[in-house]
Structure formats: structure tokens, C-alpha cells
Amino acid sequence: MKLLIVESPSKAKTIEKYLGEDFRVVASVGHVRDLPKSNKAAIDVEGGFIPHYEVVKGKERVISQIKSLAKKAEEVLLATDPDREGEAIAWHVEQAVGLKDPKRIVFHEITKEAVEEALESPRKIDQSLREAQEARRVLDRLVGYDLSGLIWKKVRYGLSAGRVQSPALRIIMEREREIRAFKPETFWQIVAVLNDLNFECSVEPRDKKQVDQIIEEGKKDKWKVIDIKEAKVGRAPRPPFITSTLQQRASSRLGWSPSRTMSVAQRLYEAGHITYMRTDSTNLGVQATRQIEAVVKEKFGPDYFESHVFAKKSKNAQEAHEAIRPTHLNIESAGAMDEQKKLYQLIWQRTVASQMKSAEIMRTKVIANIVQSSALNMPDFWLNGSRIIFDGWLKADPASASEDVILPKFNIDDPLKLIKIDSTEKQTEPPLRYSEAGLVKELEKRGIGRPSTYASIIKTLEDRGYVEKISKALHPTDTGEVVSTFLEENFSTYISDSFTAEMEDELDEIANGERTYLKTLSDFYTPFQKEVESKENIEKITNLGSAPVDIKCPICGSGMIIKLGRGGKFYSCEKFPECTGARTLEGKELAGPKDTGELCPRCGKGNLVTREGKFGMFTACSRFPKCKFVKKDPEGQANGAGSTGIQCPVCKSGYMSERRGRFGVFYSCSNYPDCKYAIKAKPTGEICKICGSLMMEGTKTIPERCSDKSCPNHNPPS
């Protein structure tokens, strides 16, 4: 028996169908080892940046199973994903299990042909790829801990910074400052509706009297077409998808976040429907091109096929990889769920269209004016549009054709009927905030991050409360602004575009065997550590500016200053800590901590104080965050605010209470943080007969379900 190890259980099931009884396929379920949470125990800097790994909690059973199967196997093959992360996982499995001379195989699509071909070309684990991933992990840990520790001391406890997330946050903040500094200018747009088509004219200079005169003259005279400008242009097909362009197109077409796009793509890949979805190469293999040619000629006709080779987008694109494409081009729809079918269709259309002829478009500009325009110095009105002469690749991707405005045929001197003419006062608009897709495009353009990191960068910024998505646009929060400003003022070099991009290049050089792990870490960390140490003496940021003069302290009447709290910016009395008066930025009075006179039973150093939090008043230690004691009310917690009266199944002493977090309402134990048990929906009070977890409210088709995702009762048959 041969043992083949992959990352995910679904991938294991797909591959197992292709291999005979001689193979056993098992999953590591992602990483089996990682750096410990404690930074001191994680990396031996003095010893040469040696990482000390530990088994991921809960993976002991997985390692034990693989070890048991490996002893019985005549050969062990590691078939984790074909990137640095996959190479690292393969190495960690080898180290954790104690495998002796395992073989490494790589395939970029999960098909029978690809797996069998990979089995014929086994190799050893690529230590250069593995070291590149390890260098990234160690760098991110060192930067994160050092910067975060400094921010805790100088800004606010609990904040964090990262090697790649911080430059991304800086980019968002730079755009925000542009928007704030923007000074709008007023102008008038005049629209003449001629033959039910909107012809436009923007008036320069911005003169209302001139606008009124144009409208008056336009109503008096007859209109006609005075000129037509046409240009025949070709719209070349776009390259097949790489990671960044897939995320951008799924955002614009489907409204998906990058993390959702990658999650759905992962499932399509593991089911064998598409090639590997983390790639920066637009390359298509010979076999794939032949498949596309057959599909195009059969479905659209021989006149539509044309072979294209696309230039790589980045200098470090891995041309051995392929672009994201369907594994079988003759299959036009694939995926178990509707969202998978939607994403697969995007990939299929883009892939097939990439090997088709350019569309031929007639770009047209129709210019109109009144008959007596020359005598009155009347400005021209225009209408832009196009006509498709030959649809070419748009035949495979018809949604892209909607980008063109189709105009009827016009001739010079054709009379035009005026339906109405009117003006609208407008203001010039500031630059737009980045959408998630826009930020991915900007990060790729600046060389920040790599295909596997785009989605996680944005998710990290959102999860940490540095940005929030409002109507698809990324807005920096008060916390994000303060953190970014602190880093820009004190560590501008390390969060600059050039430095971050150069570091990515150095990691690529490690992967290519052109640079050593130790030199890369040493060259970076030695000056970085000195820079961090030099900032230890800067003053703590407690004052973010003065409040407006009309905002006074609700307790003593003194002036107030702006501070950063856990909920964002607020006004604090300038005499703090002598006076604890505080207000929200809207002017509402905030209740300050009130001393109860009781000594904290946990630390014995601070007094218990009553504070106002997100979920109302609570009593806690005055030494927070050094001491996180929160007083419980054992008699009233079952019937307290938000309580369901249902006992927590974990600690047996708390009660499930309604709370509101970043992602909406959820229910957790009233003994938090001592007990962190939580579920997504309201508990019903019933206990699951299979696993013993709480049952919770479900949907119309499934009125009740188990709160444990791994339990069969979580998604019972409707």
C-alpha cells in the first residue's frame, strides 16, 4: 500500500477516486505545526532566526493517524498544494510524523491525468520554497510583535501592526486624506434630449448666465447632426484569470469579497473542476490551448479562434504554473452549489474568450447643435457610443459587450427633434475610496503581497477594525487612522511601497535559491530592531487634538481633548485623570468609571469600578487590561439584560445571553471571558441527541439545528 498525503479531506476524496486499491489518501487538514503564540519561545533570533514549532492544537490525532499508516506503507508521497505554503506543509508533515525519505509530487489540477503524471515524476521537498515560506512567516511574526508591542505602549493596548497589512492600511489612509483635502468646484452640465438620446455639454467657464443663454437658444432653434467621427478599433481578448484578476472580476460581476472568491475557488479546485487558484501566471499549457481551440470551433465556428500568448504581469510570475482555467474545457457548467457554478462560468468564459479573435468595434462620436450655432457661438453637444461590427471573443463573454453603448446610424445634417433641454448644477467629485477589488489591483500594481496574500490582507484589516466596508467601499476607522498615522510618522521606511515590494522580491529570490534565509532575515531585522528601540522614548499618544471650543466637560466644565478608545475617538476632559468627564463625538455624555470601594478579588491591587460598555454597565477591575477580572451577578445573571435563561452547557454556571458583535447578534455565556462558549443563533433550550451541544434556531426549512458545525444535526435534511 502507498500512502498519499494531501491538505484537505475533500481533495483526498477526489484523488482517491482516480487511484486504485494500492493507494490510501489522507488529509493533514492544513498545517500540522505552527509557531507558538509566545514570541519569546517562537524564534531564536540570536541563534540565527531559528523557528521553534509546536503541533497545532487538535492535530495530534491527525499526526497519529498518518504515523500509523506510514509504518504500513511501502512508499509515502506528499501531494500538498503547488506553492510555498504547500511545500512548507509537506515539510512540517515530514518533521512531525518522522517520515523517512518521503516523495514530493506536484500537480496544478486535480484530474486523473494530472495526478498520474505527477506520480511518474516524484522529487524531494524543495527546501528553497520551504525556506521562502518560513522567512515570510518569521518576518511577519517579528514585525508584528515588535510593532504591536510598541503600539500597545504608545497608542492603545490591544492594537496590532503587520509587515504587509500596514502598507495596505497606509494606502487606504492616503486616499482618505486626498478625499478630505479635496475642494469641490461647481459646474453645470447641460443635457439636450434629442431623438430620445441624451446629448451632453459641460460649460466652461463655470458661468450660470452662459448656461441660461445656451438653454434659451436651444429651445428657440432647430437641431441637427453637424459632424460624425468614427474610428474602427479592435477590442483584444483579456488574458485568462490570475488570482488578482479573478478576485477583481468576481467583485465587479458577483459582488463578492476576495476571501469569498478564494473560498469558492478552493472548493472548485478540490473537486477537480479548475486548476490551482493561487497563481500569477497567465500561461496556458499546450493541451489546454488545444482543448480551447476545439471548443471555440465547435461552439462558435472556425472564424472565431485565434491563439494568443499573453505577457506576464509581474517579473516574478511563475511561468511553470498555468493561469486559472477549467480542467476540462468541454464542460461549460460545474460545481455542486449555485455560487460555485457562477464562479466556474466566469472562469470558463474568460479562458475560452482568451483564445478568440478580437472584437471589431466602430467607436462613434455624434456631434449636434442648433442650425444657427455658428452665428450665436453655441457650444457643441455630443454623444459617444459604438457599434459592434464583429463580436469575436464577446461571443463567449457576452456580459463584456454591455460595456459598449450601441448607437443608431446617423448621417451629417440629419434633423434632430428636441424633446427637452435642461441643466444640472454639479460639483467635481473627490477620488473614490478603494473597493476590495480596487485595493487588490493597487496592491498588485505596487508589488505588495503575492497571490496567496491579497484576500488575507483585506480580511485582517477588517477583522481588526482598521477598515469597514460601507457600500462596497473601504473606509478607515478612527482606530485605523491613528495606527496608520503613528506608523507613517515613526516607521515610514518599513511601510513604504518600495521597501515592502523589495522584501517580496527577496522572498522570491529565496524561493529561487538565489538568496539565503539567514542573510535576508539579518539584513532586515538588525536595523529594524534598532529603529523600534529608538522609538521607546517617544511620548505616549494620549492627545489627538483639541475638541471644538463649544464642547465642554460635563463634570467640571473644562475644555476637552480628542482621545482614542476601544470604540473609536471620543472627547475626554483635559484635566484627566483628576476629572473623568467624557463625551462621544456627537456630544453625548459618557458615564465614567465609578469606584465601588471593593478590592479586586483576583489581583488584590486595584479597586472594582463600574464602567459603561457596549452591552451596558458592568463592574470590573480598575487595573484593566493588566487585570481582566469582571464581577458576575450569580443571582441576577439568569434573568439579566439579554439573558435567555438557558444554562451554558460548558461551564454549567453561566447563562446564554444575547450580544452584538462586528458580524451582528450572537449568543454567548454570561461568564465571559472565563467561559468563551458562543453560538450564532438563539438557543432553543434543547440539547442535541447526537453530540450534546445546544440546539439553536434555524431557518424556515430547518426550524432547529445543532450549534456544532461538525455535527450532522447542524445541516439536517429539510
Span 161-183, pLDDT tens digits: 889 999 999 999 999 999 999 99
Q: Is the pLDDT of residue 318 over 50?
A: no
- Domains of the chain in sequence order: 2-125 (3.40.50.140), 136-181+432-534 (1.10.460.10), 186-236+360-427 (2.70.20.10), 243-357 (1.10.290.10), 637-714 (no CATH)
pLDDT band at 542 (very low <50, low <70, confident <90, very high): confident
Cell of 254: 458577483
Q: Is 534 exposed, middle or buried (0-12, 13-18, 19+ CB in 10 A)?
A: exposed
Please state, rounded to an integer, the average pLDDT across all residues of the chain. 87
pLDDT tens per residue, range 348-381 = 999 999 999 999 988 899 999 998 866 567 889 9
Q: Is the pLDDT of residue 120 over 60?
A: yes
pLDDT band at 564 (very low <50, low <70, confident <90, very high): confident
Beta strand pairing call for 75-78 and 103-104: parallel
Distance (Å, whole) CA 263 – CA 343: 11
Exactly one of 145, 269, 276, 434 is catalytic; which is it? Answer: 276
**Residue where the block lists cell 477589488:** 437
Residues 6+ away with beta carbon under 8 Å from 257: 251, 436, 455, 458, 459, 469
pLDDT tens per residue, range 681-694 = 888 888 887 777 88
Q: Is the pLDDT of residue 715 over 80?
A: no
- 269 part of the active site: no
Would you say the pTM of this structure is higher than 0.85? no
Say if CB 264 and CB 340 are below 8 A apart.
Answer: yes
Q: Is the pLDDT of residue 635 over 50?
A: no
Distance (Å, whole) CA 386 – CA 231: 9
Q: What is the mean pLDDT of residues 295-315?
A: 86
Distance (Å, whole) CA 306 – CA 359: 12
Amino acid at 615: F
pLDDT tens per residue, range 404-419 = 567 788 899 999 999 9
Give the 3-state secondary structure of residue 100. Answer: coil
More confident residue, 577 or 67: 67
Say if CB 356 and CB 302 are below 8 A apart.
Answer: no
Distance (Å, whole) CA 484 – CA 466: 9
Share of the chain above pLDDT 70, in %: 92
For 189-208, give one letter per residue: b (16+ CB within 10 A) or e: ebebebbebebebebeeeee
Of all residues in the chain, what percent are helix, strand and coil, respectively (each to 5)? 35, 25, 40
